[in-house]
Structure 1
Amino acid sequence: MKIVKFIFGSVLIVLVTAVISVFTALFTMGNPIAGGRPILWTIWYVAALLILIMALYDFSSLTKGQLKRVGLIGTVIGVVFFGSVKGYYVYTEGLRIEERGVELFDYQPFKEESDLAKLDAPSSFKIDSNLPRLDGATALYPLYASFVEAVYPSDEYNPYSTEESPVVSTTTGEAYDRLIQGKTDIIFVAGPSDLQVAAAKKAGVEFNMTPIGREAFVFFVHEDNPVDSLKLDEIQQLYAGDIDNWSEVGGENDPIRAFQRPEGSGSQTALQRVMGDRKLMAAPVEDVPEGMGGIIEQTAAYTNHKNAIGFSFRFYATEMVEDHDIKLLQVNGIAPTVETIADGTYPITSEFYAITTEENYETHKPFLDWMTSEEGQTLVERTGYVPLAKD
């Protein structure tokens, strides 16, 4: 009779725990620090502890006092377990850089105390009506937001509202998609990937690309990593998987965790160009929450462990994202600075663009021409980018 009672009780506990877990997953998995996995694991730990106590009560000779002590010890272990797991999540989330993102409102046009670059005098070019719809990469938003403040009429341009605002910042990949779909007019991005060119061709769209500045593609590591410089060939070998330990490039005997970015992002496209004909190794991935508690697998965000290496564009890594104990690596012994980008000595530099469709290029040509004029290039430089070389 005891065994039947125990089985029934255990099944009931498991069923109740499963139901609680489902609701916990639905409402907390989107934020693992606030809830998510630590709470789920703790719920199942409590269920296991209850089943253990029930088994001891039914099948052991322990007294009630001894059972209470078992329960107390189990509770203490559970609290320590939950605290440790949650602490681990807080720690690892604190090491993430790419997902911390940037508060675009800090660069919103016509906002008091914004961080935007400004001209010394009113712009010689203005647009008062039929405002071009703008979108682009996060790292370039401070630049084209400064264009807006110089050229557009004063208004509230919410960078997050694609439905209401003509000036937004989504991501490089989404900006390309929106341009192809006719949902925006000019995008500010790095050059397109092969997949983005193919998507445009399939939709019957041709890109018209106007260079408006230069930028460095940079690699970064934890500041305590003894490696300060990598050769370009070493970077290629590292991201091909041929070099997999820091000791092979003058560092400590630690396996290299080489992070990548999602396909279609500007920085991932830049990495693919750096690799040339070499095949990229598979990117580290992680299981992440997706709406209503579902789980998807995606490219793991950069986490600043001492054996990690990541990449970005110089302005984003140094200006938009606060210091997270990283250092930029020299490439071929050259540091990525405004000076080395301008004189071309830093080996991984490229132009970034204001891109419209060929069909609409003439409509927006006056604005594009202004971006490459002295006034536009002044804003490029004052934002923190490197302006185009003067003829």
Structure 2
Amino acid sequence: MKESFWMKESFWTKLLFSFFAVGGIAFLGFIGFIFTALSGGLIFYTPLVVVLSIVIAIYVVLLIFNVLSRKIRYVVLLSIVGLSLLATAGHEIKEAYISSIATVDDREVNLKQYEPFAENSKVVNLDEPTTFHIDSDPPRLDGATALYPLYSAFVQSAYPVGNYNPYNFQTSQVICSSTPEAYKRLIEGETDIIFVAAPSLAQQKHAKRKGVELKLTPIGREAFVFFVNKRNAVTGLSTAQLKDIYAGKITNWKDVGGPNNRIRAFQRPEDSGSQTMLQKFMGDTPLMTPPQEDIADIMSGIIQQTSSYRNYKNALGYSFLFYASEMNQSGEIALLAIDGVKPDKESIRSGQYPLATEFYAVTAQNNNPNIQPFLDWLQSSQGQELVEKTGYTSLK
């Protein structure tokens, strides 16, 4: 019976072959590491490549030193391949399931559909000729995603006809960068008026450090709303229950009249308008740590950040009424009554809905002569008509 090639080789020859084999596997593993990391697979595929490289290197060394019998070799090889395919399939199935669940996220809204002066735009118009018009030097506008349809309507009624692409930060006079970025741009003097909720404590401190005084001009009212999956049996919560949920004291839906399922209470990024509103609602009650997601790339590694609301059956989220019910409507979420009152324009106007709030046109020191007349017009009957027609509640 003939000996195999590896059985004839000396120990040192086997060791040399092992060295080159492991080096080659390590090189290929490194290439795989870089490729998967650049492709956004740092959370799953990059660790898988590392583990597979180590396992294959050990397997090859055992082959070289003839430690495994022929039968065991095939069993081990099939096990490596099978487990790798099983892990990959499980990961992809999980990702596909998560991706299939609806989200409520600013990034999901195409603002171009509300662009002023654009063909087939959803932006509303006045029923009569405008009493105010800016012919030159219009103020630069920015703001919250939820309020873009409104200040786009202001632009269409009072600004010169033009191209006001909400995503063109370089040339457009009217953009939408979201609440946190809009406050930064206003404080840095990069825009003139922003349409947002009241500033967070951090935003107020930033303005003070820069020596900027923020002026808040109320232009309408809106409801801060909470929502759940439409299949959730819970249709309303009290303000006390909401505080206990977001403080981490109530953790199961059965404790508030729902199914026996843990509550996944989502939160928004820091300094966003809705997160600031939640913090004001909580008052001195500490907020619990929100659900997190891992964002990974080769430059920053794994970063934990607040995850966007995803409409799991046990999810709880919040936003503002117009955004949740009009801009991001999917028919898959249900707005909760708070303290027995449903959020709508009537309950906001009457003051019955407990979480109604004003939103603002916020300005800083600026020499543009059109700013104050524009703010005055926003509070006039025509400006308030546009507030109502867009879907918000007017001041009067």
Quick check: TM above 0.5? Answer: yes
Indicate the residue corresponding to 2:133 in structure 1: 126
Alignment partner of 2:151 out of 112, 135, 144: 144
Q: What is the aligned-residue identity percentage?
A: 45
Sort the Cα spacing of 1:51 and 1:325 in 2 relative to 1 into closer, same or farther, 3 A.
farther
Indicate the residue corresponding to 2:3 in structure 1: none
In the TM superposition, what is the alpha-carbon distance from 1:240 to its structure 2 partner? 1.3
Of 254-263 and 291-300, the range deviating more from structure 2 = 291-300
Structure 1 Cα separation of the partners of residues 19 and 95 of structure 2: 35
Indicate the residue corresponding to 1:323 in structure 2: 330
Structure 2 Cα separation of the partners of residues 351 and 4 of structure 1: 75
Structure 2 Cα separation of the partners of residues 182 and 14 of structure 1: 52
SS of residue paired to 1:60: coil
Of 156-165 and 43-52, the range deviating more from structure 2 = 43-52
- Indicate conservation of the 8 Å contact 1:99/1:301, yes or no: no
Indicate the residue corresponding to 2:49 in structure 1: 43
Structure 2 Cα separation of the partners of residues 197 and 293 of structure 1: 29
- Indicate conservation of the 8 Å contact 1:45/1:78, yes or no: no
SS of residue paired to 2:359: strand
Indicate the residue corresponding to 1:276 in structure 2: 283
- Indicate conservation of the 8 Å contact 1:159/1:168, yes or no: yes
Of 164-173 and 374-383, the range deviating more from structure 2 = 374-383
Query: How large is the Cα RMSD of the aligned pairs?
Result: 2.5
SS of residue paired to 2:203: helix
SS of residue paired to 1:13: helix
Sort the Cα spacing of 1:359 and 1:251 in 2 relative to 1 into closer, same or farther, 3 A.
same
Structure 1 Cα separation of the partners of residues 168 and 214 of structure 2: 25
Sort the Cα spacing of 1:21 and 1:122 in 2 relative to 1 into closer, same or farther, 3 A.
farther
Indicate the residue corresponding to 1:32 in structure 2: none
Indicate the residue corresponding to 1:101 in structure 2: 108
Alignment partner of 2:236 out of 229, 241, 245: 229
Sort the Cα spacing of 1:290 and 1:24 in 2 relative to 1 into closer, same or farther, 3 A.
closer
- Indicate conservation of the 8 Å contact 1:97/1:324, yes or no: no
Sort the Cα spacing of 1:100 and 1:69 in 2 relative to 1 into closer, same or farther, 3 A.
farther
Q: Quick check: 1:60 aligned with 2:68?
A: yes
Structure 2 Cα separation of the partners of residues 313 and 282 of structure 1: 22
Alignment partner of 1:24 out of 36, 59, 64: 36
Q: Quick check: 1:254 aligned with 2:261?
A: yes
- Indicate conservation of the 8 Å contact 1:133/1:184, yes or no: yes
In the TM superposition, what is the alpha-carbon distance from 1:347 to its structure 2 partner? 0.8
Q: Alpha-carbon deviations, 1:279-336, whole Å to 9, x = none?
A: 2222333321368464322222222222221111111111111316221111111111
Of 127-136 and 152-161, the range deviating more from structure 2 = 152-161
In the TM superposition, what is the alpha-carbon distance from 1:379 to its structure 2 partner? 1.4
Indicate the residue corresponding to 2:6 in structure 1: none
- Indicate conservation of the 8 Å contact 1:56/1:62, yes or no: no
Structure 2 Cα separation of the partners of residues 85 and 100 of structure 1: 25
In the TM superposition, what is the alpha-carbon distance from 1:346 to its structure 2 partner? 1.0
Structure 1 Cα separation of the partners of residues 280 and 297 of structure 2: 30
What is the letter of the counterpart of residue 54 of structure 1? V
In the TM superposition, what is the alpha-carbon distance from 1:178 to its structure 2 partner? 0.9
Indicate the residue corresponding to 1:181 in structure 2: 188
Indicate the residue corresponding to 2:96 in structure 1: 90
- Indicate conservation of the 8 Å contact 2:134/2:370, yes or no: no
What is the letter of the counterpart of residue 50 of structure 1? I
In the TM superposition, what is the alpha-carbon distance from 1:91 to its structure 2 partner? 2.2
- Indicate conservation of the 8 Å contact 1:56/1:67, yes or no: no
TM-score (norm 2): 0.88
SS of residue paired to 1:209: strand
Indicate the residue corresponding to 2:248 in structure 1: 241
Of 361-370 and 47-56, the range deviating more from structure 2 = 47-56
Structure 1 Cα separation of the partners of residues 382 and 20 of structure 2: 78
Q: How many residues align?
A: 381
Structure 1 Cα separation of the partners of residues 371 and 148 of structure 2: 19
Structure 1 gap segments, 5+ residues each: 30-34
- Indicate conservation of the 8 Å contact 2:263/2:315, yes or no: yes
Structure 1 Cα separation of the partners of residues 251 and 82 of structure 2: 41
- Indicate conservation of the 8 Å contact 2:42/2:301, yes or no: no
In the TM superposition, what is the alpha-carbon distance from 1:36 to its structure 2 partner? 5.5
Indicate the residue corresponding to 1:356 in structure 2: 363
In the TM superposition, what is the alpha-carbon distance from 1:361 to its structure 2 partner? 8.4
Structure 1 Cα separation of the partners of residues 76 and 340 of structure 2: 62
In the TM superposition, what is the alpha-carbon distance from 1:368 to its structure 2 partner? 1.0
Structure 2 Cα separation of the partners of residues 110 and 362 of structure 1: 24
- Indicate conservation of the 8 Å contact 2:42/2:298, yes or no: no
SS of residue paired to 1:59: coil
1:302-313 equivalences in 2 (<5 Å): 302-313=309-320
In the TM superposition, what is the alpha-carbon distance from 1:227 to its structure 2 partner? 1.4
- Indicate conservation of the 8 Å contact 1:208/1:361, yes or no: no
Of 128-137 and 193-202, the range deviating more from structure 2 = 193-202
In the TM superposition, what is the alpha-carbon distance from 1:105 to its structure 2 partner? 1.0
